[in-house]
Chain A
Amino acid sequence: MFLSGNGARLLSKSLQRTSPNRLLRYFSSAHEDFDVVIVGGGPAGLALACALGSKAEIQSALKIALVEAGDLFKVRDWSSPAGSFSNRVVSLTNASQTFLKDAGSWDHVELERTAPIEEMQVWDGISDARITFSASEMGASSDSHSGMARLTETLNLQRGLLRQLQSLPTVQILEKNKVQHITADETPGGWPSVHLDSGRTLKARLIVGADGPNSPVRSFANIASYGWSYDTQAVVCTMEHSPRGPFLGPNTTAYQRFLPTGPIAFLPISDTASSLVWSTRPALASAFKACEPSVLARMINAAFRLPDVSMNYLHNLILESHEAGRPITEEEISAEILWREQSHSIDYTSAYSSTTPEAFSENRIPPSDAEMLPPVVTSIQPGTVASFPLRYNHAESYIGEGQGSRTVLVGDAAHTIHPLAGQGLNLGLGDVECLSRCITEAILRGGDIGAYTSLLPFTRERYLENHKIMSACDKLHKIYSTTSGPIVQLRSVGLEVLNELDSIKAAIMMSAGSVSRNDHRPLSYNSEARTTMFDIAAKCVENLNTATRVAQAAGGGLTGLAVNVLQNMAKAAASYQNPSKP
C-alpha cells in the first residue's frame, strides 16, 4: 500500500464527494458468495438462520448471510421492566416450541416473560353459544409442555434468536443493510445477486424471502400473490388487571368473543397483565386510539360482557364523538355502560358487570360465572395502544422459477393471515422448520439447495397445510361477521355440538398445532416406503371415518349410539396420529 491510512481515507472521501456512482460501481463489481441469503430479520428469518446454523452436519457446507434493513441492536438489547409487556405478542403452539427447542433457540427466550395458555373460551357475540378448549381435557399437557400454547412477546423471541445467533459462526448478520435490488445472473442457471445499499453485493445459491407481506424477494421472483384486505384493523395493547385470586386459579385462560365487528381476544401473559387483540372496523380503531386509554379499558370490559345491541350503541357513540372532534371521556362512557348494564338487568354482583365498585370486588368469593369471562381491565400500559390493518394473502408459489429461480418464500412473505386464531407466526415457524429439514436432506444427498427439485418437498409439504389453516381462519372471520338470523343459529348450534364432542375438538386442536409434531418426519423421497404406505392406509381409514360422520349427520341419524361410536373412532385415530402419547 502506498497510501497511509489517512491518505486512503482522504482519497475515499474525495471519491465520495466527486462521484458516488463510480464508487458504487467499483464496489458492486466485487461480490461475495453465500449459499443462503436470508432477507429479513423478523422472527421467521432469524429462526431459519438459527435452525440452519445450529445443525452440526451441515455447518461445513453452508455459508449463510442474514440481511436486515433495521438496526437489530435495539432488539438484541431490548429489555423491559418486569410486569410491563410489549404489545406485539404471539401464542406459540407446542409444535413451534418443539421446533425452537430442537434448534436450541428456546433456551435464549426469557421464560419468565411468557405464560402458558391452559384453556381457551370462545363464544358467539350474538347467541352466546360457547366452546371451551382445555389442554388438560385433551391430554395436551405433558412433561415438556404445559398448556396448548405459550404466549410470548415477539421481541422476547427475536432477542432470544439473536442471542443464539451470536454463538453461531456460520451465520453472518448484515444489519442496517437495505436490499436495493435483486438481479438475476446473465447466464441462465447462475446465482442471483442481492445488492445492498451499503454497496455490497451478495451472490446467493438460494435467497430466502423472509421479508414480510410486501416482500421484495417475492417481487423479484415474480411470484403472484392472491388476497384481499379485510375492512378490519387489529387494535393491540397490554392490559392490566388484578390477579384472579385463590378461587379462580392462575391467569392462564384465553378468551375470545366474536362480535359482528370482529373478534376480540384476551391473551394472558402474566398474573396481572394480558394482551389484547381486537379486530374491528378501521373507523372504530382510529376512534379508540384517539380516546384516553381509560376509555378503551372500559370499552374492552364492555365488549366481553354487554349484549351486541348495546355494543353497537357504544360503538356509534364513540364514532360520533370522535367525528365531532370531542373524544368521549371516561366519566361519560362509564355512565353509559352502567346505564346499559342496568337496562339489561345485569346484577352488579355478576361477573357480567364491569362497573362493580372496587371496594366490593376485593376479597370476595367470585360470582359463579367468573370463569366465563376475563378479569376486569383496570388500566392500559402507557404507550402500548396500536393498530394494524388485516390482510389475507397467499403467494401462488413458494419457489421462484425462470428469471426468479433460486428463491424461496417463508412466513409473511408467503402468506398473511387473519390473526383470529393466532396462527400467523406459527405458520411461519412451520415453514422454517420444514425448509431447514428440506435443506439438510438436500445437502446430505449432495443436492444444489437452490435448485427447484431440492425445494420441491418444502412447498409440497407446506402449501396445502398453510392454505387449510388460512382458509379456515378466513371462513371463521366471514361467518362471524354476520348478524343474519339463520347463520347465527347455524353457527351457534355448530359450536355447541362441537363443544360436546371431545374427540372432534381434540382433532381441531391437533391441526391447530397444539400437540407437538413428530420431530423427524420423512420428506417425500424417503426410503421408508413401507411407513409411507402405512401412513397412506391410515389416512384412508381416517377419511372413511370423516365420511361416515358426514353421512350420518346428513342423514340426520346422529343418535346417541352413533355419537359414541364416532367418538371412539376419532379417539382411536387421534391416538394413532400421536403414538408417543399413551
Chain B
Amino acid sequence: MFPTRLLRSSTVNASEIAHFSRLSSEWWNERGEFSFLHKMNPVRMQFIREKLLETAYDEQAEEAVDTKKARLLEGLDVLDIGCGGGLLSESLARLGARTTGIDASESNIAIAKHHASLDPRLGENLIYKHAAAESLLAQSKRYDVVCSMEVLEHVDNPAMFLKTCAELVKPSGHLFLSTISRTPLSYFLTIVMAEKILREVADGTHTYSKYIKPSELLDFFQTHRSTVEGDGTLTQSRAWITRLYSGEPTRKEAEVRGMIYNPLSSSWILAPRGAWGAAECNYLFWVRKPASEE
C-alpha cells in the first residue's frame, strides 16, 4: 500500500515512494540516529511557546493572554528553514500555525511530506517546499515566525544565511535559531562523545569550525538593520539589538537559552535564563525584528 495522497497529487512513481518510506523510517525512527533531535523537539517548542506568550503579555492585557491555549500559533505564518524530516514543522502546524517547511534536500522534503500524510489531523496548514531560503526572498511573502533549528552549524556562509532569515521575518516578527557554540565543551560533547565514542550521532555530522558562539549572533544582530520601505523611499530600521548590558541583550530584543542534555534520564532540559555556563554547548536563540516604524 502506498499513500494515495502522494500518488494522486503528483507523478511520483511507486519505487520512489518505497525508497522515501525507507529513509523516512530513519528520520522518524525515534530510537535511531535522530533520537537526540526527537527528544530536543519538545524543548524547542517549549521555548517558542514561552517566548511568544511572554511577548503577548508585554503587548496585551493580562486577561487577553490564554497561556493554556493549545492552538497558540493559530493565524500566524510560520517558516521552518531546513525542516529536514519535518520534526519541528509538524509540531508548529499542530499548534495551529500556517506552516511552510523548506529544505535544500529534495529527499528530505519527500520524507517530510510522506510523514505528514500519515497524520490525518495535520490539515492544509502544513506545506513543504524543496527550496533554499534565498529563493524565498524573491516572493513578497514574509512570516510572523521564522525558525531554523540546528541548521546554522551546517551552512557555508552563516552571515549571508542569517541575513536571509532576518529578511524573511515580518516587522515585529520573531526569529528562532538553535545551534551549537564553539567551545572546548561542545567539541568534547558533540564530536568526541556523540560521534566518536557513543556513536549516537553519525560520524561527520558536525564540523567544529562551523559552530557559532552566542556572542557572535549577538554581535551580528547589533549591527544588523532591516530595510524599511516607506513611500518610495528606503530607510534603515534601528539595529535588531540596540545594546548589551554586561554581555546580555534586553529581554524584549533577544535571548540566549542553553539546552542541556541529561544522559541519566536521556532527556533535554531548557536551562533557566542566564544560567551560568548553560549555553556552552547547545543553545536556543531568539531575536525580534523591530517594528516597521522603529
Contacts and interface: CB of A to CB of B under 8 A. Distances in A.
A525 B43 contact: yes
A443 B118 contact: no
Contacts of A524: 262, 265, 267, 269
Interface string B21-54: 1001100101100010011011101100110000
A112 interface: no
B21 A187 contact: yes
B27 to A, nearest CB: 10
A444 B119 contact: no
19 contacts: A33-B121, A57-B69, A60-B71, A185-B118, A187-B118, A189-B24, A445-B45, A445-B91, A447-B91, A453-B30, A456-B267, A524-B267, A525-B268, A525-B270, A527-B46, A527-B50, A529-B260, A529-B269, A530-B272
Task: Name B's interface SS.
Answer: mixed
Interface in A493-532: 524-530, 532
B153 interface: no
A203 B275 CA distance: 44
Contacts of B267: 456-457, 460, 524-525
Contacts of B92: 446
B25 A451 contact: no
B1 A189 contact: no
Given A33-B120, A188-B25, A525-B43, A453 B269 contact: no
Given A446-B91, A456-B267, A526-B269, A57 B42 contact: no
Interface string A438-459: 0001111111100111101100
A57 B265 contact: no
B121 A453 contact: no
A356 B79 CA distance: 84
A33 B123 CA distance: 13
A452 B71 contact: no
A35 interface: yes
A192 to B, nearest CB: 12
Interface string A154-191: 00000000000000000000000000000001111111
A15 interface: no
A60 B70 contact: yes
B131 interface: no
A525 B71 CA distance: 20
Contacts of A35: 121
A527 B72 CA distance: 19
B270 A451 contact: no
B180 interface: no
Interface residues of A, number: 40
B70 A453 contact: no
A446 B45 contact: yes
Interface of B: 1-3, 21, 24-25, 28, 30-31, 35, 38-39, 41-43, 45-46, 49-50, 68-72, 90-95, 115, 118-121, 260, 262, 265, 267-272, 275
A199 to B, nearest CB: 20
Given A33-B121, A187-B1, A452 B68 contact: no
Given A189-B24, A529-B275, A203 B70 contact: no
B85 to A, nearest CB: 11
A58 interface: yes
B285 to A, nearest CB: 16
A53 to B, nearest CB: 14
Nearest to B38: A453
Interface string A537-552: 0000000000000000
B270 A529 contact: yes
B3 A187 contact: yes
A527 B69 CA distance: 18
Contacts of B3: 187
B95 A446 contact: yes
Nearest to B44: A445
B90 to A, nearest CB: 7
A371 interface: no
A572 interface: no
Interface in A466-507: none
A187 B49 CA distance: 32
B272 A527 contact: yes
Contact of B68 (A444, A454, A456, A528): A444
Given A187-B1, A191-B118, A451-B30, A444 B70 contact: yes
Contact of B70 (A187, A443, A525): A443
Query: Considering the complex of A and B, which 3 residue pairs feature the smallest CB-CB distances, nearest first?
Result: A446-B91, A57-B68, A445-B45
Contacts of A453: 30, 35, 38-39, 41-42
A445 B270 contact: no
A472 to B, nearest CB: 24
Contacts of A456: 39, 267
Interface centre among A35, A191, A205, A447 (most CB of B within 10 A): A447
A189 B70 contact: no
A210 to B, nearest CB: 23
A205 B270 contact: no
Nearest to B25: A188
Given A33-B121, A525-B270, A527-B269, A447 B94 contact: yes
Contacts of A527: 46, 50, 269-270, 272
Nearest to B70: A61
Nearest to A401: B31
Contacts of B118: 185, 187, 189-191
A442 B118 CA distance: 19
A56 B118 CA distance: 27
Interface in A55-79: 56-58, 60-61
A170 to B, nearest CB: 12
B90 A448 contact: yes
A452 B118 CA distance: 16
B42 A525 contact: yes
Contacts of B24: 188-189
A33 B119 CA distance: 10
Interface string A211-255: 000000000000000000000000000000000000000000000
A205 B119 contact: yes
Contacts of B31: 401, 452
Interface in A24-60: 33, 35, 56-58, 60
B57 to A, nearest CB: 16
A530 B276 CA distance: 12
A175 B268 CA distance: 41
Contact of B94 (A401, A446, A460, A526): A446
A529 B271 contact: yes
A441 B45 CA distance: 11
B23 to A, nearest CB: 11
B121 A447 contact: no
Contacts of B35: 453
A33 B122 CA distance: 12
B7 to A, nearest CB: 12
A525 B69 contact: no
Nearest to B93: A446
B265 A460 contact: yes
B121 A205 contact: yes
Nearest to B1: A186
Nearest to A531: B272
Interface in A255-312: none
A457 B275 CA distance: 24
A525 B269 contact: yes
